[in-house]
């Protein structure tokens, strides 16, 4: 198991404990100015944070056996061991910006309750996501 997986499992355990304490503490509050019971906003945030940490830990744990040992997990590694090609990163792609604009259009549609804007943003998002995935499968003149 990589150090990243161990780190996120530890964060998930910590957040699970904090979530449990938070649920117990907020359900026992007896304040005459507020309703007694569970405080849902903080509980939801903590539960989602715990699940996110578990998801990341699980992903790192499952991909650990599919990859070679990284220099970060090797005790006798030198700095030069981490050099080399890190992957392919697109130098200039317009599609992440188009996807961001589409998500913004959808958010405005939800905020002002214009469902046609939500649908329009979803269509743009699907189209731009498809083009992002196909940008290196298409010839440059068809971009």
Question: Which residue has tokens 């939800």?
Answer: 110
Q: What percent of the chain has pLDDT over 90?
A: 51
DSSP count for the chain of H helices, then E strands: 4, 0
Q: Is the pLDDT of residue 100 over 80?
A: yes
Quote the pLDDT of residue 29.
Answer: 77
Exposed, middle or buried, 8 (CB in 10 Å: 0-12/13-18/19+)?
buried
Across the chain, mean pLDDT equals 87
Segment 33-88, tens digit of pLDDT: 666 677 889 999 999 999 999 999 999 999 887 777 777 777 788 888 777 776 77
Quote the pLDDT of residue 119.
Answer: 97
């Amino acid at each position: 198991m990589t150090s990243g997986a161990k780190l996120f499992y530890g964060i998930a355990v910590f957040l699970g404990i904090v979530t449990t304490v938070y649920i117990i503490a907020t359900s026992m509050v007896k304040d005459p100015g507020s309703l007694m019971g569970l405080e849902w906003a903080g509980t939801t945030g903590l539960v989602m944070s715990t699940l996110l940490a578990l998801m990341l830990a699980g992903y790192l744990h499952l991909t650990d056996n599919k990859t070679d040992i990284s220099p970060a997990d090797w005790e006798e590694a030198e700095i030069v061991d981490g050099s080399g090609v890190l992957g392919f990163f697109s130098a200039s792609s317009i599609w992440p910006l188009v996807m961001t604009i589409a998500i913004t259009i959808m958010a405005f549609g939800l905020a002002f309750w214009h469902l046609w804007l939500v649908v329009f943003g979803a269509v743009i998002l699907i189209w731009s996501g498809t083009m992002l995935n196909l940008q290196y499968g298409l010839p440059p003149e068809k971009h």
